């Protein structure tokens, strides 16, 4: 399980609510399941759009890997603990939030969090995910992952040599869902090249120039090995030979 807040909260909250409840995802593919588990996204949007703050709402996601397959009771327990952590010591009538579950065809579960960014009693701004929010919600995530044996984002067994930037991973995932081919980017090409070197014991595929030189019988310096510069007498001999040829 992974918990993450999204760096957005300006603009129309109604548009954000419509996206959460929409029958299609950002790539235009039909969603398998859309279920509201907490609150009412339309009510949250109405409250958020009535605020005069620049940051009107907070959005986030609780994501579970396809192999996790958490049952309803476990999802409800996660949401209960999330609510108690996000609005600790506040009565439910002082905040407005909702949670909408999206299930993917492969079995992945994403619960999207949507909250108006204010204290309903005081009217002041209330940010449940300020900078450093990982220190608050990280222990909650880790506790459930260890309790149920869910996949962890910090699990070394799931680590990759080079993680994709978030925007690149999002675009690639959308293309795959739409049935489009994904072209490797420069980062992926460099990563694959370095992985190839490691798998070959530090040697990668010989370059085109080196293969051409070896095919013609010309000696080529080994990769990473520099030739010694010519000595002064050798340079003078080469220069004299060049002058003789030109003459």
Query: For residue 207, is pLDDT > 90?
Result: no
Q: Where are the beta strands (DSSP E) in 65-108?
A: 97-103
- Is residue 110, in this structure, part of any structural domain at all? yes
- Asked if residue 66 and residue 48 are part of one domain, the reply reads yes
Phi/psi of residue 153, nearest 5 degrees: -65, -20
Cα distance between residue 18 and residue 132, in whole Å? 29
Residue 177 — very low, low, confident or very high, per pLDDT cuts 50/70/90? very low
Assigned token pair, 207: 């370059």
Q: What is the DSSP letter of 245?
A: H
Q: What is the pTM of this model?
A: 0.64
Q: What CATH number is given to the structural domain containing 93?
A: 3.30.930.30
Residues 48 and 68 in one domain: yes
Same domain, 70 and 189: no
Residues 165 and 140 in one domain: no
Regarding whether 144 and 172 lie in a shared domain, the answer is no
Q: What is the residue range of 171's domain?
A: 160-205
> Where among 138, 154, 170 does a domain terminate?
154
Asked if 37 and 140 sit in the same domain, the reply is yes
pLDDT higher than 80, residue 200: no
Residue 2 has pLDDT above 60, yes or no: yes
Q: Tell me, yes or no, whether 177 and 102 share the same domain.
A: no
d(CA 223, CA 196): 15
So what's the pLDDT on residue 244?
41
Three-class secondary structure of residue 144 per DSSP: helix
* Mean pLDDT, range 231-236, rounded to an integer: 56
Give the model's confidence band at 23: pLDDT under 50 very low, under 70 low, under 90 confident, else very high: confident
Q: Give the residue, 96 or 228, on which the prediction is more confident.
A: 96
Q: Which residue has the higher pLDDT, 70 or 172?
A: 70
Q: Which residues of 94-122 are buried (b: 16+ CB within 10 A; e: fewer)?
A: ebbbbbbbbbeeeebbbbbbbbbbbebee
Reported as type and span, the H/E element at residue 63 is strand 57-64
Structure tokens at 81: 């603990």
The predicted structure's pLDDT at residue 26:
76
pLDDT value for 42: 97
Distance CA 68, CA 141 (A): 14
How much is the average pLDDT of 198-209? 54
223: confidence class by pLDDT, cuts 50, 70, 90: very low
| Residue of 85, 78, 55, 62 whose CA lies nearest to 4 | 62
> For residues 167 and 110, which has the higher predicted lDDT (pLDDT)?
110
For residues 131-143, average pLDDT: 95
Q: How far apart are CA 53 and CA 21, in angstroms?
A: 24
Q: Is 71 helix (H, G, I), strand (E, B) or coil?
A: coil
Residues 95 and 8 in one domain: yes
- Return phi, psi of residue 64, to 5°: -120, 140
Instruction: Grade residue 66 by pLDDT with cuts at 50, 70 and 90.
Output: confident
pLDDT band at residue 216, thresholds of 50, 70 and 90?
low
> pLDDT digit string (tens) for 96-136?
999 999 987 777 889 999 999 999 999 999 999 999 999 99
């Amino acid at each position: 399980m992974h918990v993450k807040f999204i760096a957005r909260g300006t603009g129309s909250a109604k548009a954000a609510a419509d996206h959460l409840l929409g029958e299609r995802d950002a790539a235009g593919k039909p969603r398998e399941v859309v279920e509201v588990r907490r609150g009412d996204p339309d009510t949250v949007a109405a409250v958020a759009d009535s605020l005069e703050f620049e940051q009107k709402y907070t959005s986030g996601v609780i994501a579970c890997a396809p192999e996790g397959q958490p049952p309803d009771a476990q999802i409800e327990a996660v949401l209960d603990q999330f609510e108690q952590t996000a609005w600790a010591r506040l009565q439910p009538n002082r905040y407005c939030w909702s949670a909408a579950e999206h299930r993917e065809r492969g079995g992945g579960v994403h619960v999207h969090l949507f909250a108006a960014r204010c204290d309903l009693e005081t009217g002041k701004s209330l940010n449940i995910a300020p900078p450093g929010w990982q220190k608050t919600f990280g222990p909650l995530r880790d506790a459930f992952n260890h309790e149920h044996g869910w996949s962890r984002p910090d699990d070394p067994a799931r680590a990759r040599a080079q993680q994709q930037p978030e925007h690149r991973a999002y675009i690639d995932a959308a293309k795959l869902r739409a049935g489009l081919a994904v072209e490797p980017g420069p980062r992926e090409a460099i990563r694959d090249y370095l992985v190839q070197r490691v798998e070959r014991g530090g040697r990668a595929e010989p370059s085109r120039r080196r293969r051409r030189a070896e095919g013609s019988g010309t000696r080529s310096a080994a990769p990473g090995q520099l030739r010694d510069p010519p000595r002064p007498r050798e340079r003078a001999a080469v220069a004299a030979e060049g002058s003789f040829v030109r003459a």
